[in-house]
Amino acid sequence: MDAQAPKSLESGPDVITLGRSSVDLYGQQIGGRLEDMSSFAKYVGGSPTNTAIGAARLGLKAGLITRVGADHMGRFILEALGREGVDTAGVVTDPERLTALVILGIVDKETFPLIFYRENCADMAIDMADVDTQWLASARALVIDGTHLSQANVYSASLEAVRTVKAAGGRIVFDIDYRPVLWGLAARDMGEQRYVANAEVTRRLSVVTPLCDLIIGTEEEIRILGGADDVVAALRNIRTATDAVLVCKLGAEGCAVFDGAIPAKVTDGLVVPGFAIEVMNVLGAGDAFSAGFLRGWLGGEDLYTCGRWGNACGAIVVTRHGCAPAMPTFDELQTFIGMHHPMSAADIERLDHIHWARTRHRDYPSLMVLAMDHRFQFEELAADLGADMARVPEFKRLALRAVDALAEGNAAFGVLLDGRYGAEALSEAAHTTYWIGRPVEVPKSRPLVFEAGADVGLDINTWPANHVVKCLVLYHPDDGEALRAEQERQLVTLFDACRRSGHELLLELILPADMPSDAQTRSRAMQRLYGLGIRPDWWKLEPVADEAVWRNIDAVIAANDPLCRGVVVLGLSAPEDELMRAFAVAAQFSCVKGFAIGRTIFHDVASQWLKGGMDDATAVDLMSASLSRLVDAWKEMHATVRTQAPQPVKVKA
């Protein structure tokens, strides 16, 4: 069977990287042997793939040439590349080989046991016959890496790609990327070993040297390419073969750049100092450096700026777990450079929030959600009707069908489903493109209690990554001190757990019905939670038709978290006409993205269906029709005011 390559895109990339693409399984227990690590986080990996993602996050049009297996891991990589905006015209799905894997752990800042599973893996079968040469030739630059020069077929493929780009006037970048174990020079359990001198490796790598415009490597990698144990001697050997810009990465000290003759000492080159940071893990720093340097180099920046951007990207990544997911965005990079170093705790928190918000997958200009996460409401309804609660899970599956009948895969739609009665529907929703929210709170609890018990983080860590954590809290800024403190403690715990697990958080804030409120009460409550460091990705708020209420809400979000995804309006079982009035007001404000409505849509249908007075098809049709009316109303109101929405009012945090 022939490998299948996607069709190429019309416009050429700024940079194409060629080579390894794998799945990294990172041990989550830090400070011990790989043998003692019991759980692993899954990330996209492989130096060229990491660099492509890093370049895309920094604003370059990046493409990738590689192969992945026709397997779950290959699809994971392709989906991740798509979310990051990396052009996959050169990514081939190989039906005969598996996607490469890497298993690694973090013992300390400099020690990371690493095992490559790469025997006959997909990316070692790259064949340029599968790649659109017009697309390749349209690239401004091509990055190749040394690892793929270790095998004859990919060695040939790399050189063919270089010649194609060079003939079209593009520039060639060589990331030396030396892994002795992948050249057969180290034991298989020594994947972390960085340097073994070998004349044959030097000879093979040196074939590329004269073709390059930019060469990047660590001191060890410069030594292997230059064939000398002394770095300056190695640099001079390289210089005899090329006029390329040479970049020697110096770890925490930064980098040295050479754009001419090689001086007597490395430090006599253009030395760009590093940043004072606390290192967690040095893996991935080099790939981030390359992405940062390329962002400057291809943008016409001077070499000092290129080195500074490269150093900054590397410094950011070494503070985090993982490689590709740790890569910074351009505004994150600029924020980091503008900070005092070493960073304060507040600076780290600010930077981490920018990273989190800017790398969330998918944008939501609008979001229309059928809320079906109700639990006690169904228990009460079934008790009133004398109906069998065992039928409720099937009704929730029908509700998902109702969404599907209307949405037909449109990612602007979503569902809220619980893990108790909605577990089967949740499993089905996992195979759709819809936004998926899932509750964690004990219904009606005040103070807030989590269904899974005290350790809510342990619970949500078992959820799929695309599930949004939804938490309803009955909260008032004027609650008694003890009650307020307990609820806020729970919410801080939940927010921290979500950030640790990588799940987005939707915070549903409802004012207690027996407490007074005015146009500022909700915004005061939100401000108090923001003051505790809680930054929900989403807010879910009551359907009020008071413009002053929404103006205050919009102002608080703008002042505290302009990167917030926004607000969805909840229903509280309100009649449709009442919701329409609330929509008409809320739609005027840019922070409001849509709605998450439940009982208004399903309550009457559920009553009839649970007592046997309605068949499945009718239930689906009625729920879909009701949802459709709300969707049409929201879209019409939102479209009417989107060009004249009030500007957010700036308030002090």
For residue range 385-413, what is the model confidence (pLDDT) as tens digits? Answer: 999 999 999 999 999 999 999 998 899 99
Which tens digit of pLDDT belongs to each residue from 115-124? 999 889 999 9
- In this prediction, residue 482 has a pLDDT band, given cuts at 50, 70 and 90, of very high
Q: Considering the chain, what percentage of its residues have pLDDT values greater than 90?
A: 81
What average pLDDT score do residues 247-254 get? 94
Strand partners, 470: 439, 506
What average pLDDT score do residues 79-103 get? 96
Strand partners, 520: none
Which tens digit of pLDDT belongs to each residue from 12-26? 899 999 999 999 998
- pLDDT score of 195: 82
- In this prediction, residue 171 has a pLDDT band, given cuts at 50, 70 and 90, of very high
**Residue 234 is inside which H or E element, if any?**
helix 231-239
DSSP assigned state of 338: T
Least confident of 32-46, 328-342, 437-451, 527-541: 32-46
Q: β-pairing, 22-27 with 15-18?
A: unpaired
- In this prediction, residue 96 has a pLDDT band, given cuts at 50, 70 and 90, of very high
Most confident range (mean pLDDT) of 92-101, 322-331, 569-578 is 92-101
- pLDDT score of 89: 95
CA angle 185, 186, 191 (to 5 degrees): 125
From the centroid of its chain, how far is CA 442? 29
Do 85 and 56 meet the contact criterion of CB atoms below 8 Å apart?
A: yes
**Residue 117 is inside which H or E element, if any?**
strand 114-117
What average pLDDT score do residues 45-49 get? 94
- pLDDT score of 206: 94
DSSP assigned state of 34: G
Token pair 């929405």 in the structure block, residue: 645
Residue 103 has pLDDT above 80, yes or no: yes
**Spatial CB neighbours of 602, under 8 Å, sequence gap ≥ 6:** 370, 372, 395, 399, 623, 626
The encoded tokens of residue 405 equal: 């009948």
- pLDDT score of 651: 35
Residue 650 has pLDDT above 70, yes or no: no
Strand partners, 27: 40
Which tens digit of pLDDT belongs to each residue from 269-290? 999 999 998 887 777 789 999 9
- In this prediction, residue 114 has a pLDDT band, given cuts at 50, 70 and 90, of confident
More confident residue, 275 or 649: 275
Peptide bond into 328 cis (omega under 30): no
* Sheet containing 255-258, strands listed edge to edge, beginning at the edge strand earlier in sequence: 87-94, 62-69, 15-18, 141-145, 171-175, 214-218, 245-249, 255-258, 270-272
Largest CA distance in the chain: 90
Q: If you average pLDDT over every residue of the chain, what do you get?
A: 92
Helix, strand, coil share (%) of the chain residues, nearest 5: 45, 20, 40
Whole-Å CA distances, 342 to 276, 482, 561 = 5, 38, 24
- pLDDT score of 197: 86
Do 88 and 59 meet the contact criterion of CB atoms below 8 Å apart?
A: no
What are the DSSP E strand ranges found in 393-552? Answer: 413-417, 435-439, 467-474, 505-510, 538-541
CA atoms within 13 A on the CB side of 61: 13
Which tens digit of pLDDT belongs to each residue from 545-563? 999 999 999 999 999 999 9
- pLDDT score of 556: 98
Residue 47 has pLDDT above 90, yes or no: yes
